[in-house]
Amino acid sequence: MAETKPPSRKGAPSKEYYEKVSKESREVLVGALPSITLGVVAAILLWLFGKLIFIPIAQGIEWFGYPLPQILTFIILVGLAIFLVRILVDVRRAVDALAGLAACEIGAPYDVTPAEVGHYKTALRSILNVIIVSLAFLLFSDYLALIHPALSGVVLIAIVVWAIFEIYRAVKAISDEIRRYSAEWAGKALE
């Protein structure tokens, strides 16, 4: 995988390093993609079953004074949260593997350094995290509103603050690369 320690010598890594990273990245990607698919399918099915069948049928039923729709909502939210965490962990693994693979397949002939791969990895991971969490919020929002009408809004505010931070990280990682490239070009132009 992309976490493999690069060789200690300075400059571009050796050919063996790229081959090792490429092989490990492929293995991780093959393991992570089905897991992500399964997690997404599970989350959507749980949402559909809850929304269309079990919550409507639970209306008006109380269990020792507690309304059953709210208990069900809580159970579904816990289930969705577990699936979401699994999806995020697998996406993280897949992004790391993709970055490693891209560095080896595209970057290796041009002597891309692990630090550069790290920057792209950070940017890609941050953007994907924001997309996944925003989509997950669409699944969660109805259920959160069922527990308390304000809960959905509070979670949305938290997600917006977190998304700004993640986008800032992505922009910082990319701007480091832009700065490095412009310094190289400026150096060449002055020569």
78 part of the interface to another protein, by CB under 8 A: no
CA neighbours closer than 13 Å in the CB half-sphere of residue 39: 20
Among 1, 76, 108, 170, binds another protein (CB under 8 A): 76
CB of 125 to another protein, least distance (A): 24
User: Closest distance between another protein and the C-beta of residue 144, in Å?
Assistant: 18
Tally the residues of the chain. Answer: 191
Amino acid identity of residue 96, one-letter, is D
Residues 20-49 that bind another protein (CB under 8 A): 30, 34, 37-38, 41-42, 45-46, 49
Answer yes or no whether residue 147 interacts with another protein by CB under 8 A.
no
- Return left, alpha or beta for 71; rule: phi > 0 is left, psi -120 to 50 is alpha, else beta: alpha
- Given the rule CB under 8 A, which of 59-67, 144-152, 157-165, 168-176 is the region that contacts another protein? 59-67
Asked if residues 121 and 96 have their Cβ atoms less than 8 Å apart, the reply is: yes
Locate all alpha helices (DSSP H) within 49-148, ordered by sequence. Answer: 55-58, 68-102, 114-147
